[in-house]
Amino acid sequence: MRTIDTATFYLVQRLESRNPIDNTRGFDGYFTLDYMGSSEFEWGAIPKALKEMRECPAVVEPARVRIAGAQHDVYFVGHEGVRGAVGPMEEWAAGTEYRGPFRGKEWTHFDEVLMGTAREFVRTDAWWDIESNIAWAVSLTVADRLAKAFNSRPRT
């Protein structure tokens, strides 16, 4: 598992809020996971990442992130200190010699949602870097829901 300061935002899971919420089902009662199309997101990767995320209570930490020359409010969700992901997120947004801006294993639509240019079929409203215990949203309401989802457990 990567730490916050070494996060690369490579295995980013797209999430969509459920409406209505079913808080008896744990995380799945709050969000649906978009099909990512790569085996790295399958074979137990999500349950493993969820278990790691639940090792400490999830909190919401707002931060200003500089992307494409503009400041944007991003609500990071994870373990205490998760706002430390600002630097790695800005690096991800800038891209590298080998990887373009916002590129990971699969398309995230984060840049489109952030800039308000997402097409009507994009329903993603939260993201989760499953390798780094970092999730985020551009809405405080969605981020609060995300923290509740990580902190919830299914009722038996």
> What pLDDT band is residue 113 in, cutting at 50, 70 and 90?
low
Condensed to tens digits (0 to 9), the pLDDT of residues 47-105 reads 999 999 999 999 999 999 998 888 999 999 999 999 999 999 999 888 877 777 888 88
What 8-state DSSP symbol labels residue 32? E
**Reported pTM:** 0.91
For the residues of 120-150, what is the DSSP string, one character each?
TT----EEEETTTTEEEESSHHHHHHHHHHH
Residue 124 near residue 1 (C-beta atoms within 8 A): no
What 8-state DSSP symbol labels residue 34? P
Condensed to tens digits (0 to 9), the pLDDT of residues 27-46 reads 999 999 988 878 788 888 99
Condensed to tens digits (0 to 9), the pLDDT of residues 134-149 reads 999 999 999 999 999 9
> What pLDDT band is residue 1 in, cutting at 50, 70 and 90?
low
Question: For residues 13 and 37, what is the distance between their CA atoms, to the nearest angstrom?
Answer: 11
Residue spans of the domains in the chain: they are: 4-151
CA pseudo-torsion sign 103, 107, 108, 114: positive
